[in-house]
Amino acid sequence: QSALTQPASVSGSPGQSITISCTGTSSDVGRYNYVSWYQHHPGKAPKLIIYEVSNRPSGVSNRFSGSKSGNTASLTISGLQAEDEADYYCRSDTSSSTLYVFGTGTKLTVL
């Protein structure tokens, strides 16, 4: 089971919006609506920010939103803030014996 494909890096200025893509296959992203997104600051625990494609856990800013089309899921962060600078990972259920697959990760830089 290969990792889901994400861009290695994205950047944006404060106040702007950015979108991170997460491309899988018909065996994972395309098959299930169980796509999650995580924010990970190095040295800290990953934080769930989106689950089941587009749902936000309680306490997560509505500046974070998720969507999916076919085999590609997307995370959009609007109104970029300095504290958004982190690594972002998607995760999907998969029909393979490796039940959950993560994305390759995207480093977000706030300019």
Please give the biggest Cα pair distance in the chain: 42
**Is 110 in a helix, a strand, or coil?**
strand
Closest approach, Cβ 74 to other proteins, in A, equals 18
**In the complex with other proteins, which residue's Cβ is closer, 14 or 57?**
57
C-alpha closest to that of 86 among 62, 68, 106, 100: 106
Q: Are 21 and 84 in contact (CB under 8 A)?
A: no
Binders of other proteins among 14-53, rule CB under 8 A? 34, 38, 40, 44-48, 51
Among 14, 15, 57, 70, binds other proteins (CB under 8 A): 57
| Residues at the contact surface with other proteins, assessed by CB under 8 A | 1, 3, 34, 38, 40, 44-48, 51, 57, 89, 91, 93, 97-105
